[in-house]
Amino acid sequence: MDWKLFIAKRIYRSNEGGKEVSKPAVRIAMLGIAIGLAVMIVSVAVVIGFKHEVRDKVVGLGSDIMITNFDAQKSYETIPVVANDSLLNVLRTVKGVKHVQRYSTKPGMIMTDENFQGMVLKGVSHEYNWKYLRNHLLEGEIPVFTDTASTNKVLVSRTIADKLHLKTGDKLYTYYIEGKNVRARRLTITGIYQTNFSAYDDLFLITDLYTVNRLNNWQPNQVSGVELEVSDYGLLGNVKEEIRGRVDTQVDDYGGTYYTQTVEEANPQIFAWLDLLDMNVWVILFLMTGVAGFTMISGLLIIILERTNMIGVLKALGASNLAVRKIFLSFSVFLIGRGMLWGNIIGVSLCLLQSQFHIFKLNPSTYYVDRVPIEFNIWLYLLLNVCTLLVSVLMLIGPSYLITRIHPAKSIRFE
């Protein structure tokens, strides 16, 4: 065994490396490492979980990519675009596209004997992916919707149901403005959902595509847009560009121009907010690494000063400054490792407790989720540990040069 490593281990094992003076400093240094690493592990897990939870919620209620009429971007009115079999087949052949579905919307109003509520009626057909809404269905069932027949059935959110005192099985009277006329449609509530995404829960009712197209006086092949799900979110930009090259240059049978946009382009405020979370994480990582590093520096300096006599003896026996520095840096690595061990235990335990028991709650009207989400990424976790170790050791290289200022003749007499 290397003699420098042997001495470092002896110092470390001798009751945490020091006498009564250095014990508190050593323990504070290890505590700084443990708390810093635990905070970093929890922060990264929370931010990753939160970003993915909110992103999946936005995508689950819509899609990764939407194709609409270009003129609809400049108007509050719903402007249709043709989505015939030819277009749908082209979209399905694009590499990276996992699912294609049509939808139509119609703004209107719900009225009861006691209250009223503005809303948007969204029509979907048989190809609609119900996975997300099925996971958030609180009551009732999801009917089979088509584009060839009216079901007169509708799904409403818990927000709208509570505001208007509605329940499953109730008849819902909705009204739509057509020029100077008002059209009415009675729908039956078959299910109530809750996504905790206020932009959706406050507005949308879901029914069949045929009903909405009839209310809009559109042709059977016209819709408000087409929603596409990609197989890998990382390919979103590439898929969008390929679709734009194939579709956006085309004009439909009624003169409408196709326009493709991603979920990030359609919801810039939400995704800009999520991007700001990355900056918060970097600030936390920087501060916690600094706290851990400076507590280790103070601990190392106290240990060096306390072991001045030993350093003098080692130099008198022929040890070089580099060799003595290696001893104390190795000793510091042992302390950092012990602090990191406790930091990992604390951080991982907090993540597991939150993911299993949802101890910490959030206001869904503000944060879109009802609990603090946790997502554990093993590769980021390992990278965090490696970087913490490297940065902490590198921060100690400078202070270790204090050893070169210690002279054997004076230090051997030092008490």
Cα atoms in the Cβ-side hemisphere of radius 13 Å centred on 364: 15
Q: For residues 175 and 237, what is the distance between their CA atoms, to the nearest angstrom?
A: 39
In which element (H, E) is residue 42 found?
helix 22-61
Residue 279 has pLDDT above 70, yes or no: yes
Q: What is the pLDDT of residue 127?
A: 94
Q: What is the pLDDT of residue 411?
A: 63
Query: For the chain, percent helix, then strand, then coil, each to nearest 5?
Result: 55, 20, 25
Q: 229-256: buried (b, 16+ CB within 10 Å) or exposed (e) per residue? A: bbeeeeebeebbebbbebbbeeebeeeb
Residue 75 has pLDDT above 70, yes or no: no
The token pair at 6 is 């042997």
Give me the torsion for CA of 381, 385, 386, 390, rounded to 10°. Answer: 150
DSSP 318: T
Which of 259, 333, 268, 274 is closest to 303 using CA atoms?
A: 333
Mean pLDDT of the chain: 88
Of 114-123, 124-133, 200-209, 289-298, the poorest mean pLDDT is in 289-298
Which of 162, 152, 123, 395 is closest to 286 using CA atoms?
A: 395
- Global pTM reads 0.81
> Is residue 92 very low, low, confident or very high in pLDDT (cuts 50, 70, 90)?
very high
Of 22-31, 148-157, 169-178, the poorest mean pLDDT is in 22-31
Q: What is the pLDDT of residue 17?
A: 46
Digit-coded pLDDT (tens) for 175-207: 998 878 889 999 999 999 999 888 889 999 999
Residue 107 has pLDDT above 90, yes or no: yes
> Is residue 10 very low, low, confident or very high in pLDDT (cuts 50, 70, 90)?
confident
Q: Which residue has the tokens 């996992």?
A: 98
- Average pLDDT on 53-57 reads 88
Residue 352 has pLDDT above 50, yes or no: yes
Residue 414 has pLDDT above 70, yes or no: no
Digit-coded pLDDT (tens) for 355-400: 999 999 988 878 888 899 999 899 999 999 999 999 888 888 888 8
Q: What is the pLDDT of residue 21?
A: 47
Digit-coded pLDDT (tens) for 300-324: 888 877 777 887 888 878 888 888 8
Q: Is 375 exposed, middle or buried (0-12, 13-18, 19+ CB in 10 A)?
A: middle
